[in-house]
A and B are shown apart, each in its own frame.
Chain A
Amino acid sequence: MSRVFVTGMGIISAIGDTVAKNREALINKQCGIAGLTLFHTKYTGLRPCGEIKVETHELKNKLRAHEKGITRSSLLALHAFKEAIADATLSANQLSSRHTALIGASTVGGMCLTDELYNDANKSENGSEYLSSYDCASVDLYLQSRYSMSGVINTINTACSSSSNAIMYGARLLKNGLAKRVIAGGTDSLAKFTINGFNALHILSPEKCTPFDRDRKGLNLGEAAAFLVLEKEEDIAGKKIYAELTGYGNSNDAFHPSSLSDKGDGPFLCMQKALQKAQLPASAISFINAHGTATENNDAVESQAMIRLFGTPPPFASTKANTGHTLGAAGAVEAVFGVLNLYYQEIYPGLHFSNAIEATGLKPETIYRQGSLQHVMSNSFGFGGNCTSLIFSKI
Chain B
Amino acid sequence: MYIHHHTCISPQQTFEHADVETLHESADNKLKAKEPVYKGIPPGILRRMGKAVRMGIGAALPVIKQQSLIDGIIIGTANGGMEDCIKFLNQIIDYEEGMLTPGNFVQSTPNAIAAQMGLLNKNKGYNITHVHRGLAFENALLDAMMMIKENPGNNYLLGAVDEISAYNYNIDLLDGCFKKEIIVNKNLYDTVSAGTIAGEGAAMFVVNDNAENAVATIKAIQTIHTKDEMEVSRVLQQFIQQTLPDNEKVDMLLTGENGDARLLKYYTEVESLFDEYTTIARFKHMCGEYPTASSVALWLVCNRHQWPAHMIKKQCKNSTVRNIIIYNNYRGLQHAFMHIVKYKC
Contacts and interface: CB of A to CB of B under 8 A. Distances in A.
- Is there direct touching of A and B in the complex, by C-beta distance under 8 Å? yes
Interface of A: 41-43, 107, 111, 114-115, 117-118, 120-125, 127, 131-132, 134-138, 140-141, 144-145, 149-150, 152-159, 165, 169, 172-173, 175-176, 178, 192-193, 196-197, 199-201, 250-258, 265-266, 269, 382-386
B121 interface: yes
B109 A384 contact: yes
B115 A384 contact: yes
A155 B96 CA distance: 31
Interface in B198-233: 223-226
Nearest to A385: B115
Contact of B115 (A121, A123, A165, A257): A257
A288 B125 CA distance: 22
Interface string B88-120: 111111001111111001110111101110110
Contact of B122 (A111, A157, A254, A258): A254
Contacts of A152: 139, 142, 223
Contacts of B119: 254-257, 385
- Name the residue in B73, B116, B172, B225 with the highest tally of chain A Cβ atoms < 10 Å from its Cβ: B225
A131 B174 contact: yes
A144 B129 CA distance: 20
A385 B106 CA distance: 12
Contacts of A42: 96-98
A176 B150 CA distance: 9
13 contacts: A42-B97, A111-B89, A125-B174, A131-B171, A138-B133, A144-B225, A155-B133, A155-B136, A157-B131, A197-B102, A251-B126, A258-B106, A383-B111
A111 B331 CA distance: 21
B124 A257 contact: no
A175 B149 CA distance: 11
Contacts of B300: none
Interface in B304-341: 331, 333
A114 B172 CA distance: 17
A137 B132 CA distance: 5
Contacts of A120: 170-171, 174
Given A127-B174, A141-B225, A257-B115, A135 B89 contact: no
Nearest to A106: B131
Nearest to B105: A197
A201 B88 CA distance: 13
Given A118-B93, A144-B225, A251-B127, 4 more contacts: A114-B89, A197-B105, A252-B127, A258-B102
Contacts of A159: 109, 111
A173 B78 CA distance: 21
B279 to A, nearest CB: 30
Given A200-B105, A384-B111, A154 B135 contact: yes
A193 B111 contact: no
Nearest to A123: B170
Nearest to A105: B131
A201 B102 CA distance: 6
Nearest to B224: A150
A384 B114 contact: yes
Interface residues of B, number: 65
A178 B85 CA distance: 34
Given A120-B170, A158-B111, A384-B112, A252 B131 contact: no
Contacts of A269: 124
A376 B98 CA distance: 42
A200 B115 contact: no
B146 interface: yes
Nearest to B150: A172
Contacts of B333: 141
Contacts of B122: 254
Nearest to A130: B171
B89 A118 contact: yes
Given A137-B78, A152-B223, A200-B102, A114 B118 contact: no
Contacts of A111: 85, 89
Contacts of A43: 97
Contact of B78 (A135, A169, A258, A265): A135
Nearest to B132: A155
A150 B90 contact: no
A121 B127 CA distance: 30
Given A154-B135, A156-B129, A252 B115 contact: yes
B125 A252 contact: yes
Nearest to B333: A141
Contact of B131 (A125, A149, A155): A155
B175 A127 contact: yes
B86 interface: yes
Contacts of B130: 154-156
B127 A385 contact: yes
Contacts of B136: 137, 155
Contacts of B116: 257, 384
- Name the residue in B80, B129, B131 with the highest tally of chain A Cβ atoms < 10 Å from its Cβ: B131
B173 to A, nearest CB: 8
Nearest to B73: A252
Given A135-B78, A144-B225, A115 B127 contact: no
Nearest to B223: A152
A231 B193 CA distance: 46
Contact of B124 (A131, A156, A253): A253
Contact of B225 (A123, A138, A150, A251): A150
A250 B139 CA distance: 17
A384 B115 CA distance: 5
A221 to B, nearest CB: 13
- Name the residue in B91, B99, B142 with the highest tally of chain A Cβ atoms < 10 Å from its Cβ: B142
Contacts of B91: 196
A193 B126 CA distance: 28
Contact of A135 (B73, B93, B131): B131
Contacts of B100: 196-197, 199-200
A156 B132 CA distance: 7
Contact of A131 (B99, B101, B175, B224): B175
B320 to A, nearest CB: 31
Contacts of A200: 99-102, 105
Task: Pick the 10 closest A-B CB pairs, nearest first.
Answer: A384-B115, A127-B174, A197-B105, A252-B127, A121-B167, A137-B133, A131-B175, A200-B102, A42-B97, A252-B118
Contacts of A137: 78, 131-133, 136
Given A156-B128, A158-B128, A254 B123 contact: yes
B168 interface: yes
Contact of A252 (B86, B123, B133): B123
B132 to A, nearest CB: 4
Contacts of A192: 92, 97
